[in-house]
Amino acid sequence: MHRLQNASRAYDWGSSSDIPHFLGASPDGRPFAEIWMGTHELSPSQVEVEGVPRPLGEVAGELPFMMKILAAGRPLSLQVHPNAQLARIGFDDENARGVALDAPHRTYKDPRHKPEMAYALTTFDTLVGFRPTAEILRVLDAIDTPLTGRLAEELRTKPGFDGIVRIVEQLLSAPPAAQEVAEVVAQCHQLVDQHVDVKRAYMTLIEVAEHFPADPGVIITLLLNRVTLQPGEAAFLGAGIIHAHLHGMCIEVMTSSDNVLRAGLTSKHVDPDGLVACLERGMSRLARITPEVVGTETEVFAPDVDEFALAVTQVAASGAAGTPLYGAGRRIVLCTGGRVELVARGGRTALVRGESLYVDDRDGDVRVIGTGEVAVAFTPDQETPGRLIDLV
């Protein structure tokens, strides 16, 4: 077993308190957004080998998955992740043009696709996937402004996915004036004051507009589903699905990729054309993941992908023999609560909340004892149970 030292990232949308509290540290005012666990070349975890820090990849090889702790203090960018074909084409193109891997305007950081799963640690709100056409028209028709009137007429002329994507493209290529966005925001305030809100669309727009008052992404939020995950719930976002996380803390498990195409609600590099190109490939899957219970201690969250799944195990001190650690092969183990010990062939290692380990088959049968909870990221096999319930 190898204890992990993981890189943290401070972005302007991060929370100044959630991750420090999770780690048992004192906030220092910085907006901590993410902690990365894995072998991705931009921020590989470190392990100690014979007293010397080494990248995890030297021990584990390249892992196909990555685990993150994500804490959003305010809305993230409006974004989409590429599928495998687009990722390879984009990565090769930027390399050929000599765009440095760490350049601020670089879009493709690696040649891999990026489906991902979010497992909520707190109440977690996100915008993800397009609403059905009829629902979008209900949302727009109640807002009495010239801009929303034009958008509704456009959608009636060309309903369905292609029509929605065309509206997104128009909003990004010819952004509405700040005054037009302000008129929509004012109308949404009036509707909410009158206790009118279609599927939380108007309150969501108000929340986002507080941070990005003139951004066209504010209007695009009206087209997206708002999904709330309670602690212990999970959702799967296929590559190519538009989303923007709003608030809360979660564990993300994904392919080992950092490819993000942004089109608004951000101070980072935006690529509206790239985002629209991903959307034009078709509608990707958005689903709530129903866990499969293994034994009495473990829930397994397994989306329909080859690279990753997540198991969450709760143990109690009364179980002196401990609980088998779920999965096989290469795994990242994160303690999400309490205090536990992992007992393996080579000894035992204690973990408290926020600490993590790498284990693999060389450790033999690993058991978890103590009182607490661990989340395990691993590569599934054909026997791994999993159920998805489509949200749209």
What does the pLDDT look like over 211-226, one tens digit per residue? 999 999 999 999 999 9
Distance in angstroms (rounded) separating the CA atoms of residues 304 and 9: 29
Q: What is the pLDDT of residue 14?
A: 95
Q: Residues 6 or more apart from 188 whose CB is under 8 A from it?
A: 143, 202, 203, 205, 206
The alpha carbons of the chain give a radius of gyration, in whole angstroms, of 22
Distance in angstroms (rounded) separating the CA atoms of residues 155 and 183: 20
Mean per-residue pLDDT for 117-141? Answer: 96
What average pLDDT does the chain have? 93
* φ/ψ of residue 149, rounded to 5: -65, -45
Q: What is the pLDDT of residue 318?
A: 63
Mean per-residue pLDDT for 100-123? Answer: 92
Mean per-residue pLDDT for 238-264? Answer: 93
Residue 125 bridge partners (DSSP): 228, 247
User: pLDDT at residue 91 above 60?
Assistant: yes
**Tens of pLDDT along 30-69?**
999 999 999 999 999 999 998 899 999 999 999 999 999 9
- Taking the complete model, does pTM exceed 0.85, yes or no? yes
Assign 280 a pLDDT band (cuts: 50, 70, 90).
Answer: low
Place of tokens 């906030």: 27
131 token code pair: 């609403």
In whole angstroms, what separates CA 50 from the centre of its chain?
35
Assign 185 a pLDDT band (cuts: 50, 70, 90).
Answer: very high
Strands 292-294 and 224-229: unpaired
Assign 392 a pLDDT band (cuts: 50, 70, 90).
Answer: low
Residues 344 and 369 sit within 8 Å (Cβ to Cβ): no
* φ/ψ of residue 365, rounded to 5: -75, 120
Q: Which helix (H) or strand (E) holds 168?
A: helix 161-173
Residue 374 bridge partners (DSSP): 313, 335
